[in-house]
Amino acid sequence: MKTRTIQRTRLVPHTIDGKTEMVLDRYDEQIPIPPRDWDRTVLTAVTAAAGLLLLVCIGWTTASVGGLLSRVVHPIPAYGAALAFDLAWMMCMALEWLARYDTRRAALPRKAGHAALALAMVAVAAHGWIEAALIIGIIGATVSAIVKGIWTVVLRHHAKPLDSKTQQWVDRQRADAGGQLAMVAVRRELARAHAQVHAEEAALRTSPDRPDALPEASPETPENPAEAPEPAPALSAVGPMTIADAVRNAVSSGITDPDAVLRYVRTVADANAKPASVDRYLRAFRKTA
């Protein structure tokens, strides 16, 4: 059994002149070396070799299809478009890799990858046919098929499909997390819509040129105005609104006392609004009134 030496430390007592202190003591320890995991080594080597073949495949298909397309367009966009033929099925393979634990989700990128591969092979073969080298075009088209086949085998080896019950549990967890993520955007949209509605309502209530914005007379109001008590300005919390909007709403409703304005702002806008900020907005609105 092979071993390797590692250095460890421990606290040991050390006494000098009758005074003992705990000090660090370094010592060597032999630990066994686990045997090499040849299965993992081989799988890593195969995956690396398959990745190298992807580069070869991209170069071959891009050169072939780019030569085909450059007959009618400028070489730069032609070779750029040719690059998409192999990248399409490679991206589908990447999605299939991400779904290697879910057979149902991996089915769609696998089918799309096969379709993209077929298009790339047809394009390479067409280039050989136009160049009067159909046999070479067909052989070149099989390069993509070989690389795709190797990667299909590698992905199947890496894939770890879940059993039915575990897959159902995973699907429910995904659904719950997806629902919570979707509700974040929904709540944001609803909050924005409610804020717009409240802003419109506040503008209609405080608009001086709209007669319908005036409060309707109550049926219990006395006929003699002298007998009726002086009504207090009515305000409603239409929030959410900014501190400036709340101060403007208070001033337009007839509230001028700074303390009353501050209480109103803290009720409908910001519970932690500072008196200095409210006073500043109040002075500004008084000047423009």
Q: Is residue 133 part of a domain?
A: yes
* pLDDT in the model for residue 215: 46
Q: Which two tokens stand for residue 57?
A: 């495949």
Q: Report cis status (omega within 30 of 0) of the bond before 35.
A: no
Q: Is residue 145 part of a domain?
A: yes
Phi, psi of 241 (to 5 degrees): -145, 165
Q: Is residue 63 part of a domain?
A: yes
Q: How far apart are CA 231 and CA 63, in angstroms?
A: 86
* pLDDT in the model for residue 220: 47
The pTM for the full model equals 0.53
Taking residue 270's Cβ as centre, other Cβ atoms within 10 Å add up to 17
Going by C-alpha positions, the residue among 36, 35, 29, 37 that lies closest to residue 4 is 29
Going by C-alpha positions, the residue among 14, 48, 9, 11 that lies closest to residue 28 is 9
* pLDDT in the model for residue 240: 62
* pLDDT in the model for residue 233: 46
* pLDDT in the model for residue 282: 80
Q: Is residue 136 part of a domain?
A: yes
* pLDDT in the model for residue 23: 92
User: β-strands 3-16, 19-32: how paired?
Assistant: antiparallel
Q: How far apart are CA 188 and CA 195, in angstroms?
A: 11
Containing 29, the helix (H) or strand (E) segment is strand 19-32
* pLDDT in the model for residue 289: 60
Q: Is residue 284 part of a domain?
A: no
Q: Is residue 19 part of a domain?
A: no
Structural domain total, the chain: 1
Structural domain boundaries, residue 133: 38-158
* pLDDT in the model for residue 21: 92
Contact 282, 247 (CB under 8 A): yes
Each residue's pLDDT, cut to its tens digit, for the chain (289 residues) gives 788 899 999 999 999 988 999 999 999 988 888 888 888 888 889 989 988 999 999 998 999 899 889 888 898 988 988 988 889 999 999 999 898 888 888 899 999 999 999 999 999 999 889 888 889 889 988 988 999 989 988 888 888 888 888 888 988 888 888 888 888 888 888 888 888 888 888 777 765 554 444 444 444 444 454 444 444 444 444 446 788 888 887 777 777 788 888 888 888 777 788 888 888 888 877 777 6
* pLDDT in the model for residue 108: 93
Sequence letter at residue 198:
H
**How far is residue 122 from each of residues 58, 132, 139, 285, measured CA to CA in Å?**
15, 15, 11, 73
